[in-house]
Structure 1
Amino acid sequence: MNQNDATGLTPFTIDLTFEEARRRAEVVAALGPDWDPAAALRGEDEAYALLYSGLDAEQQRVYDMLVAAGVLPGEEPGRAATH
């Protein structure tokens, strides 16, 4: 007798590959033909730079500490926090 027989449960699996492909296609369609991924990335980079600009000395120290700890991403390409 296997464990499923003892619990009365039947294993259930579903492959979401098709649904994920459909979801991605819908996202791209919703973005429309005028969507420019390079421009969007430039805009994100500009917003990120603006967000952390003008910090006073203490704010800069905390920001640098958080970047060093991997909590905030640094300024390198493809930045992402490591923690």
Structure 2
Amino acid sequence: MNQDSTGDLTPFSIDLTFEEARRRAEVVTALGPHWDPRAALQGEDEAYALLYSGLDAEQQRVYDMLVEAGVLPGEEPGRAASH
């Protein structure tokens, strides 16, 4: 016999908007007062440029192909791969 037992369930809900705001506040607190987002982004840009500097011709060809395919991000601001 198949009996519907959904009447025995207790409703549960959570406000994800509030939880996300709380999580973000905790992240900012953990970063501390001396965290400089502009300096962090500049450091990331410098590291990215260094990572792909000095490529030989074949490496550059593969890099360009991967950027074109959206596998690697290009040089544009806010870079992110599209795939």
Q: How much has 1:79 moved relative to structure 2?
A: 1.0
Q: Cα gap change, 1:43/1:7 in structure 2, threshold over 3 Å: closer, same or farther?
A: farther
Question: How far apart, in 1, do the equivalents of 2:4 and 2:59 lie?
Answer: 56
Number of the residue aligned with 1:74: 74
Q: How much has 1:76 moved relative to structure 2?
A: 0.7
Does 2:70 align with 1:63?
Answer: no
Equivalent pairs, count: 78
Question: How far apart, in 1, do the equivalents of 2:47 and 2:4 lie?
Answer: 54
Equivalent residues in 2 for 1:44-55, closer than 5 Å: 44-55=44-55
Structure 2: where are the runs of 5+ without partners? none
* TM-score between both structures, scaled by the size of structure 1: 0.83
Structure 1: where are the runs of 5+ without partners? 1-5
Equivalent residues in 2 for 1:1-83, closer than 5 Å: 8-9=5-6, 13-83=13-83
Q: CA RMSD in A?
A: 1.7
Per-residue deviation, residues 14-68 of structure 1 (Å, max 9, x unmatched): 3311111111000000111111000000000000000111111111100000000
Question: How far apart, in 2, do the equivalents of 1:81 and 1:23 lie?
Answer: 26
